[in-house]
Structures are given as C-alpha cells and as structure tokens.
Structure 1
C-alpha cells in the first residue's frame, strides 16, 4: 500500500516551531507578536534562508518555500479575526456607528484613492492602472490594525471605533473595486454606472440574505447540537457557520472576511457567544500568525536592496498621504486631534487586498509586471513597519494630549461650580472606568482625575467628567470640590501614589471617607495606618470571588454564599486593622 506524505508537513512544522518558540521569545523581549511573525516570516521564507536551501540541503527542514500553499492557509487567519470581531459586536452597536462607517469610511476611500491615483498618473502610469492603484492602496490592512488594537485593548476606545469603522467600509468596498478592475480589464463599453449599481445591489442582497437566513437557522441548529452534549459537534457547527457564510460572500465577489464578520454578528445575538469565543480563539491566533508570516515571506529583499531609495520613498509617501487624509477626516468628524493623528498613522499602510487587486490587474494587462511587483513590495513593506509606526503614533498621541490637556483641564475644573455629594475618583484606568459606569447606571454624580492624558482625552471624547491632574495636589482637589464630596475613591495602580494621596487628603480633610485599592494585604495595612477608611486588597477580592464560585457550584444557596463571603471579608479586613 503506497504511503502518502501529509501535505505541507514541513511548512506546518516550521510554523509551529515559530509560534511555540520564536514568537514567545520575541514577546519576552517586548517585541510585538505581529512584528515577530513578520520578521520571522522574512527569515524562514523563500527570500530569506530559503535562498541558501540549494547549497545547504539541511536548511530545507527549517525554511518554507511553498509560499502559495501558506498564503491559502493564511487567508483563514483574516477570516477568523473578522469573525471574532463580529462576535464581540452587536447590530445595535454597529448601527450606532453608521455615521463613521458610511460617512468617514466612504470619504476616506474616495479621497485617498483619488489622490494616490493622481500621483500614480504623474509617474507615467496609464489612466486604468492609476485608477486600480489608487483604489487598492486606499485600503488598509484589517488583519494587522485590528490585531494591534486587540493587543493594546483599544478596540472599544475612540481610536478603535474610528479605525474599525473605516476598515469595515473598506471591506464593503471590495465589490465595486473588483468590478471596476474587471470592467477596465475587459475594455467593454456599456453603462458603467448601471453595471456598478447592479453589482452593489447584488452585494446588498447577499448580505441581507445571509442575515435573514442566519436568524432563522442558527439558533435552532446550535440548540439542537448542544442538547447532544457533544463538544466536538458544537465546534463543527461553529466552523460550518463561518465557512458557509465566508463561501457565500466569496462566491458572489464579496470579501470572504466580510462573510465571517456577518456570521460573528449573527452568533453574537445568541446565548452561545461566550462558548464560541473560547473555542475559536486558539484557531484565530495561530492562523492569523500564519498570515503575518506569509506577508513577511512575500518580500524579496534583493529587490528592496536594488531599489532601496525608491521603495523607502514610496513607503514614506504612502504613509504620509493616507495618514494626512485620514487624520484630517477624523478631525472633521469631531474626533480629538490626538485620536485623529493616531488613527491616521495606524491606517497608513497598504492592505492584504492590494495583493489580490494588483495580481488581477496584472493578469488582465492593466498594470505592467515590473510596476505590479514594485507596488506589491511597497505594500508588504508598509505592513511590516506598521507595528513600529503604531508604537510611534501612540507616543506622539500621548505627547500631543499632554501638551494640550495639562493646560486646559485644571481650568475646566473651575466650571464644575458648587457640586456636592459627588464621588471623587482618582485614577481612570480600567478599574476607575468600570466604577464610573456603575455610578452612571445608578445616576450617582462623580468627578474623576487622572495623570494619563490619553485616558483623560478618551474619556472626554465620550463626554465623561474626567480631568487631567495629580490627585495629591491640594489645589486640584479643592477645584474638584473634595471638601463637599461624599467620598474619595483611589483606583491608581501605583502603590506609592495611593499612599501619598491618602496621607495628603487625611491631613486636609479628616472627615472625608477614603476608599483605596490595595495591591495586597501588606499594602492594605499601610493604607489603613495612614488613615484610609476602607481598603480593597486585589488578592483578597479575587480569592473571595473564586471561593464564591466554588461554593455556588457545590450547590450552596445564593444567600448562604453571600453571607459566607461577607463574613470572610470582614474577618480578613478586621485582622488587617488589628495588625496595625
């Protein structure tokens, strides 16, 4: 019986070694996983160590030379990423973003495509080639940008919402761009406007059909599968949903990633979303890493060396054009300057869709082979440097915000007037923001202070009463009407800063209740000694929550669990106070 080798086995082994060993090592060195995959892809790819595989046969076991096979698998990474993004959204939230999606997103594509097309025309390209280059380079990399936002936990921030809105509109623009390339390549006459309108109508019909069909089929299907109690069947049903939705949009000329996004939106409305998130996350991460590696593998650094000056100038030029246009439009749509600047730089690269469009245009004779290869290398290089550009953009954004916010926020505190009975929050990171949402839900007034200009600017963009300043400064606390506050809550993650604020406040306002976040029992004891009214040790609360879940799962009634936790909490806090 003839034995058959597993297809792409060598490539799979090299990739798993990269994901399991090399990328964690780079992450330990504080290098972004995205950048790590891009760099390693270039090293183990056909234009890296693969060039020496003929002279050193043993290298064949450590390099990837079948780039087409890798790219086919890598597309799945983008599909799973868009599915996870859709799973985290809701239709209501998406509808609330319609102004940014259809307004900001459409203008970004149209203006950017026009400017890049005119530049391409000035460099001697034909009108058809200029249109194609302008249209495809106006789009950015959904995979890289969204992964960076997820890593930085900024998907729900103003930066994340505006960037995602633009990227979503760019995915919707895939249909008309492909249609235009086909028309230009066929050189046919006829009513172009009518044909384009029909293509867009077809796309809208497909999206509506997927949505309505999914609403009718998905929940009953998943309910039936879960009743079987078989986890493998549930996973298979989830993967089937993603594949079917992606295949339908792909077969009708839409982006396959868009179909996965729609599948995620549909499943987000079901009670199965959290289980699906847990099941799919490992697949998404690995396949997305494979996509980033394939981008790094596709860059022939010999060509980069031969035309180094032109490639560097083109990379910088593309970032400048796209960043200026995107940032200007974000400002026009009311986003803060620091958010607009960061969004512009974050979306300044070319996208994965450029590889599809340029390849199609080259096969149709619209773009000469040498021009197409040059633009593909430029696009790939912009994607490689995006993590570095994003890091620089974040630092520039923070500096811009600090320069403007520090000068204005303390003065703005004077406009609060004689506010009384409010909760004064010092620190507006994750814990402070969660506390503010809880207070808002019960209509309890609050004022927050934070030393991070970025946190303040993002909160102000959402209309929240958050101001820049150091809570240990008495003058700032007086402007925030600390003497009339119902309490002061300290949520900062710097233990020394928390202790200093407690010391300052207790000396000035002995009667003001001070609730403080403590890192551990020892830190809590120090805060109590300084005069904090109540402390919440992070380790204690995490332990109590875990104990509560254990008691609940053993069958203890809810009221019994609640009493037990309160008793245990009181004993632990009393022991801290007694120790002091």
Structure 2
C-alpha cells in the first residue's frame, strides 16, 4: 500500500498545483496557460523535484494537443475547410516563408552555420498550436473570422513539419547511398499513412459509430471516440507525420457525422485535463541550469526571435489586408515558438546538424517564449487598445437557469417575439453575447444573461435541458444552424422556434425538423404591402383576398420545393415536417392565410381556366 501511496504523491501534488495556480493567475489577468507553466516549473526538477523526467509527462500530455486538434476538426466541415484554402495555403505559407527567412538571416548574421540557423529559425516559426488555440478558446474567438485565420495558419504550420523533417534528413550528413533510398521510402510511408487514414474515415468511421450507437451503451461510444482520436494519431506517428495532424484529419472526416456533437462532448473532459498537463510538462522542461550558463544568449534569442517574428507576422497580415489591430493581436498570439520545435530539434540532433548544447539552448528559447506569450498578449492590449473591445463589468452569466422558454439572442426580432410570452406570465431565460445589448436591455427592465448559444456549455447553464421551448433569434445563418444542431442532438425534448434568414434557409430548417421557422422579414414585409394597398384605396375585401393569394402562392412554392427535395439534397417526409398551422383571420401583420378564402380563390381560378378553354 505504501508503494501505491508513494506513486500517488507526485500526481496529487501536480493536480493541486494546477488547481491553485490556474485560478490565481486568471484572477491576476495572466491567463490559465501561464498558471499551468508556473505550476509545472514549481513541481519539476528545478522546484520540488517531484518529476525527474519531464519528457515522460510531455509525451503523455501531448495527447491533450491531439484531442484539441480533433475537436477543432469536428468544427471544420470539408466545405468550410475548402473555403479557408486561401488563408491556409496563402496566408499560412506567406507567414512561414517570411518569418523563416527573417529568423534564418538573423541566425546567419549572429555567426551560426547556415544549416543550424535555418533549423533553429524554422523550429521557432512553428507557433504553439496548444497555446494559440487555448487563448482563442478563452477569448471566445475561435469561430470568429479573426480566430479562423489564426487556426488556418496553425494548420499550415502543422503541415509544414512534414517537409521540414524531410529537409532536415536531406540536409544532414549522409553516410551512404542507401540513405537517399530510405529517405524516399519515409516520404512514401507518410503519404501512404495519410491516404489510409482518409480511406478509413471515408468508409469505416460512420458505419462503425452507427453500429455502436445501436448498442445504446454510452461508455462504448466514449471508448470509440478515444479509439478514433488515438488511432488516427498513432497512424500518423507511425507514418512519420504529426499526431495532431492525424487527429485533425479524423475530426474533419467526422465533422458531417450525426455523432459529432456526442464525440465532442465525450472528448472534452480528457482534452481539458491533458492540455493542462501538457503546459505543466513544458514548465517542468525549462532547464534552469542551461539558463544559468547561457542566460545572455537565451535572453537575446527570445527577445530577438519573438520581436522579429512578430514583425514578420504583422507585415504579412497587413499585406493580406488585415487591420492594424488584428495584425498586432495576431502577432501577439503567434510570436512564440511551439511544441513542434522540439520534434524538429530532436530530428536535427539525430541528423548531426545540432549538437547537444545548441539544441538545449534553442529548446530553452522556445519554452521561454511560450511562457512569455500571455504577457505579450497583455502588453499588446495595454499598448494598442482596441476601441471596439467592450467591458464585461456588471455582466452576469446564466447559472442553472430553469425558464419555461429559452430565448437565444436579444435583438429587435426577439424583443418583439418575447412580448406575448411575457404578457402571458411565462418564465423566460434570455441570453445574448453582446454586453452593450445586455446593458441596454437592463435599462428597460429586462434581465438578459451573457451567453453564446452556439456553445453547448452555455446552453446547459441557460436551462436548455429543462426549457419546453427554445427560440433561436440570432441574425447569423451559420450560428443559427449550429444552435439548431446542438439543441436537436443534446436537448431533443425542447421545441425549436427559429428565425430564418431567407427562403433557402427556411427550407433547410424545415428539413432539419424544427417545430416552427419564420423568415425574419416575411411578416413585416407582408404587413407593409397590405398597408400600401389600403393606402392606395383598395377595398378591404380585395385587400384580404389579395394578401391571402400572396400567402397561398408563397406556401405553394414552399410545398413544391419540399416535394422536389430542394433541401440541401435531402428527401423530406412532408408529414413529419408540417408547415406552421394556418390561422383563421387573415387581417393584420403576422396572420397566415384564411383556408376558406384560399379555397374560394382556387375554385374561382379553376372556373376561369375552364371558361377560357
């Protein structure tokens, strides 16, 4: 028993350090990443020395980065990924090339051999995916255009490790002619591994999850999710590629699966814990003895590399028409070296390009730059404030809300839609992600909580699980679709009433099976047309007839489009997805067609056609 207790002491101490350090550093405004790094440094060889081998911790914790990339992949449908091709292969390549050239040039000017300068520079060019994505996630900006551009750059950098490793192998001193053949074999194995993963994802993953879902065993689905992530990572690792790249590809392949939200929920707890462990492992790996011996070189390297890389990022961002503030923010997020530098430096050491001391110095420079990233972000916000940033002071988040109705978004549309519910005395929970809108609503007596309906955790804390009805009133089509998918998958008992953007969006929502959808401008436009007819002197009976006819034609066009299967290529069960029930009174805004008047019009048309023939 003593043996088990002795083995548990370091684990308990490490968890305790993270639990204490992260909230403390977040309270100080320094972010969770710096808290994890500090906790790792305290627990490592140069602190309490509870972990003598930080590398073993890093190897396990790297799975946190792998799972993070899998979750990102789940959000990247192939069509969306294709839409980012210019950012990935344009912006990403430009940043790697420009920053690589600048840092390599500096290394050569500092007296390093050309090969050493190149390897050192390219290792630093590959930014930390773990830190950058964690920062975006904490700021809630991963899905914004700004966040998507950073993710695109990180993806390209993850891809860049493959040719860089191949280049290191070729630049390294060759021992025989057979080495050239073995290098080409390595490249072929890498390509074959990627092709095998794509084939498995295309033809095996979805059928496998359908079979497992039929077993109705949640733990089996969780195990299958871990199997997919770790299996894809292993396949890429064996092929000489990045484990994170393999997990990302697996995520993309499952992004259009009906199981993707459950997979994300299953992976999330493991991802968070392992990613925190990864940052603590990085903190443990900071060799203070190397720093004590070579502190002048390391400090100069960190300052020079980070400053020059930031300049390169800024120049590329501006060249690609990014704003001044965005370019600065991007430079602050990506100015550090990353975890793939360790892989590149290790390969360069094995190839005889870097000696042990030089590799240790480069590694220390990268680790220190990762630790300084949260401080660089704080400095960028202080020195270059963004006037558009809004204070969160006084803004309250929903916590265990239990309203009968949950309203997502509180703009002009939902303010009107909520009036009848409030007048009836129905309990409502309202969430909105614009702090200014929340404060403005508070001035008029509305209690609106801060929350993002496209995030599963915010939906849970806002009471989506207990809400009888959920009104999706946001004004962005993609966000609306994301919310609908999350609600239908995680809270199927809640009725969905959705604001649609246009006819095409309305058809897509009908195909998804929402209880009710309405085009955001349809009823107001109908009311204006009706008012114009009355203002032009058209008799009331004729106005009613004309408006009824317009509604009939609109609904018939919807019926025809549904019957024609014009719902994103899917067939539709018309009985399962009925149109909103018609009201009996056609007068006034928001009324549907009068069935009796509509039938009279149809009879009249039929008689006219018969007379004409």
What secondary structure does 1:49 align onto?
A: coil
Distance 1:546 1:240 in 2: 33
Report Cα offsets for 1:387-414 as digits up to 9, x if no partner.
1112322444534779xxxxxxxxxxxx
For 1:322, the equivalent position in structure 2 comes to: 309
Alpha-carbon deviation of 1:95?
A: 0.6
For 2:300, the equivalent position in structure 1 comes to: 313
Distance 2:15 2:108 in 1: 44
Mapped contact 1:90–1:265 kept (Cα < 8 A): yes
**CA 1:543 to 1:70, structure 2 compared with 1: closer, same or farther past 3 Å?**
closer
What secondary structure does 1:287 align onto?
A: helix
Mapped contact 1:85–1:264 kept (Cα < 8 A): yes
Distance 1:121 1:378 in 2: 17
Matches within 5 A, 1:31-42: 31-42=30-41
Alignment match of 2:58 (pick from 33, 58, 71): 71
What secondary structure does 1:170 align onto?
A: helix
**CA 1:191 to 1:130, structure 2 compared with 1: closer, same or farther past 3 Å?**
farther
Alpha-carbon deviation of 1:274?
A: 1.1
For 1:213, the equivalent position in structure 2 comes to: 200
1:16 aligns with 2:15: yes
Alpha-carbon deviation of 1:204?
A: 5.0
For 1:155, the equivalent position in structure 2 comes to: 142
Alignment match of 1:546 (pick from 466, 484, 502): 466
Q: Which has the higher helix share?
A: 1
Mapped contact 2:468–2:495 kept (Cα < 8 A): no
The TM-score normalised by the length of structure 1 is: 0.67
Report Cα offsets for 1:80-102 as digits up to 9, x if no partner.
11111111221111110100100
| Greater shift in the superposed pair: 253-262 or 25-34 | 25-34
Alpha-carbon deviation of 1:312?
A: 2.3
Alpha-carbon deviation of 1:176?
A: 0.8
For 1:454, the equivalent position in structure 2 comes to: none
Alpha-carbon deviation of 1:16?
A: 2.3
Mapped contact 1:27–1:33 kept (Cα < 8 A): yes
Alpha-carbon deviation of 1:370?
A: 2.0
Matches within 5 A, 1:459-474: none
Mapped contact 1:490–1:498 kept (Cα < 8 A): no
Matches within 5 A, 1:122-521: 122-187=109-174, 203=190, 206-399=193-386, 492-493=435-436, 517-519=446-448
Over aligned residues, Cα RMSD in angstroms? 4.1
For 1:101, the equivalent position in structure 2 comes to: 88
Distance 2:198 2:440 in 1: 51
For 2:76, the equivalent position in structure 1 comes to: 89
1:45 aligns with 2:44: yes
Distance 1:71 1:320 in 2: 27
**CA 1:225 to 1:310, structure 2 compared with 1: closer, same or farther past 3 Å?**
same
Mapped contact 2:469–2:496 kept (Cα < 8 A): no
**CA 1:38 to 1:557, structure 2 compared with 1: closer, same or farther past 3 Å?**
closer
What secondary structure does 1:398 align onto?
A: coil
Alpha-carbon deviation of 1:355?
A: 1.2
Alpha-carbon deviation of 1:196?
A: 8.8
**CA 1:194 to 1:70, structure 2 compared with 1: closer, same or farther past 3 Å?**
closer
**CA 1:432 to 1:393, structure 2 compared with 1: closer, same or farther past 3 Å?**
farther
Mapped contact 1:159–1:342 kept (Cα < 8 A): no
Mapped contact 1:38–1:296 kept (Cα < 8 A): yes
What secondary structure does 2:337 align onto?
A: coil
Distance 2:150 2:16 in 1: 33
**CA 1:367 to 1:438, structure 2 compared with 1: closer, same or farther past 3 Å?**
farther
Matches within 5 A, 1:106-125: 106-125=93-112
What secondary structure does 1:48 align onto?
A: coil
Distance 2:110 2:332 in 1: 24
What secondary structure does 1:164 align onto?
A: helix
Distance 1:438 1:330 in 2: 36
Distance 2:24 2:96 in 1: 38
1:27 aligns with 2:6: no
The TM-score normalised by the length of structure 2 is: 0.64
**CA 1:45 to 1:357, structure 2 compared with 1: closer, same or farther past 3 Å?**
same
Mapped contact 1:492–1:517 kept (Cα < 8 A): no
Mapped contact 1:143–1:288 kept (Cα < 8 A): yes
**CA 1:203 to 1:391, structure 2 compared with 1: closer, same or farther past 3 Å?**
farther
Alpha-carbon deviation of 1:48?
A: 2.0
- Where structure 2 has 5 or more consecutive residues not aligned to the other structure, the ranges are 390-394, 396-405, 415-431, 450-457, 471-487, 498-514, 517-613
Distance 1:308 1:89 in 2: 42
**CA 1:193 to 1:300, structure 2 compared with 1: closer, same or farther past 3 Å?**
closer
Question: Which structure has the larger Rg?
Answer: 2
Mapped contact 2:25–2:35 kept (Cα < 8 A): yes
Alpha-carbon deviation of 1:45?
A: 0.6
Distance 2:132 2:493 in 1: 45
Mapped contact 1:19–1:286 kept (Cα < 8 A): no
